[in-house]
Amino acid sequence: MAKKFYILGKEILPGQSVELSMDVAKLHTHTPVQVPVFVERSLKDGPIVLLMAGLHGDEINGMEIIRRVIRKKWNKPNAGTIICLPVFNIFGYLNLKRELPDGRDLNRSFPGSKNGSLASQFAYQFMSQIAPNVDIVIDFHTGSAQRSNIAQVRCLISDPISMELAQVFNPPFIVHSRYIPKSVREALNKMGKKILLFEGGKTNSIDETIVEEGLLGIQRILNHFHMKSFKLESIENETIIIKSSKWLRAPVSGVFHSLVKNGQHVEHGEVLGLVSDPYGSIEKKIKSNSKGYIICTNEAPLVNKGDAIFHIGSAQNQGEIAKDSV
């Protein structure tokens, strides 16, 4: 007999396809703001996977990835259940802004509270009505502002289960990342759920390369759990594991010219870019302060002194064991 499965107060029967709404708040006109949630349950029991995006309303790549999953009907599993939450922060999405109208970052508001701030209410509804019912979460993000991330999965590399899932996803880079306080990733980990955080591209744009990496990763995960049976013809990535990383910041204010590409390997002392004045009299070289890979670049044409411009990751040596603990 199939297990009973409830989400958002509704029982989802085997073989059922349902579009639900997570009701969180109302506009000033008292019009309810509803967060659409798409649920596809197979006739056969299996894992419950949540694909979600849009915790930050201006991060469009993840929304596009999940939109294509739904459009292609990849969310209809042969076993188990697939839940799609394409746009979590509806308020931010409508305004093309990272935060909610109260100025708070939704991804620093978990686990939330029923009667707290607007961001806290969003987090509470998710943690009480959706999170308890899922097994695995893939959360899609981009770089903030004009900082563009290379396609990467962030996880705790000392956690063998998370690392296994990250390697199944097979992104170009796996980046070691501790749990950030009050993030959805930390909250789900405390609940005993496994979550992969996919980063790629920058805000307010759709990057086809990043979208394709996200879609391939989803296919690999669903194949791994025998929820779908995709024929993958693409060449697998030789995933590079980043054990640590640090930002290189602008030494002066001015016009920024990058001389390297995202994902490129760089040497210590290598010139990565230039910052100049707009009059042609000053030009300052930006040299790498470490050996590693560029995992994020700032694509802003103008920078201020101290702005983060290159994120450089140091690769884990073969056989090296991560010493960081949960």
What CATH number does the domain containing 135 carry?
3.40.630.10
pLDDT in single tens digits along all 326 residues of the chain? 788 999 999 999 999 999 999 988 877 888 888 899 999 999 999 999 999 999 999 999 999 999 999 999 999 999 999 999 999 999 999 989 999 988 999 999 999 999 999 999 999 999 999 999 999 999 999 999 899 999 999 999 999 999 999 999 999 999 999 999 999 999 999 999 999 999 999 999 999 999 999 999 999 999 999 999 999 877 788 999 999 999 999 999 999 999 999 999 999 999 999 999 999 899 999 999 999 999 999 999 999 999 999 999 999 874 443 333 22
One domain for residues 145 and 217: yes
One domain for residues 60 and 203: yes
Q: What is the CATH number of the domain that holds 282?
A: 2.40.50.100
One domain for residues 18 and 82: yes
Domain span holding position 126: 6-224
* 323 assigned to some structural domain: no
One domain for residues 130 and 50: yes
Domain termination site, one of 224, 253, 272: 224
* 233 assigned to some structural domain: no
* 237 assigned to some structural domain: no
Buried b (16+ CB within 10 A) or exposed e, 93-115: beeebbbbeeebbbbbbbbbeee
One domain for residues 178 and 271: no
* 230 assigned to some structural domain: no
Measured CA to CA, the distance from residue 192 to residue 187 in angstroms comes to 9
One domain for residues 113 and 25: yes
* Amino acid found at 214: G
* 17 assigned to some structural domain: yes
* 177 assigned to some structural domain: yes
Predicted TM-score of the model (pTM): 0.94
One domain for residues 177 and 261: no
One domain for residues 59 and 114: yes
* 322 assigned to some structural domain: no
Per the CB < 8 A criterion, the answer to whether 311 and 295 are in contact is yes
Measured CA to CA, the distance from residue 84 to residue 52 in angstroms comes to 6
Q: What tokens were used for 36?
A: 């659409």
* 37 assigned to some structural domain: yes
Measured CA to CA, the distance from residue 235 to residue 164 in angstroms comes to 19
One domain for residues 154 and 92: yes
Quote the number of domains for the chain.
Answer: 2
One domain for residues 202 and 262: no
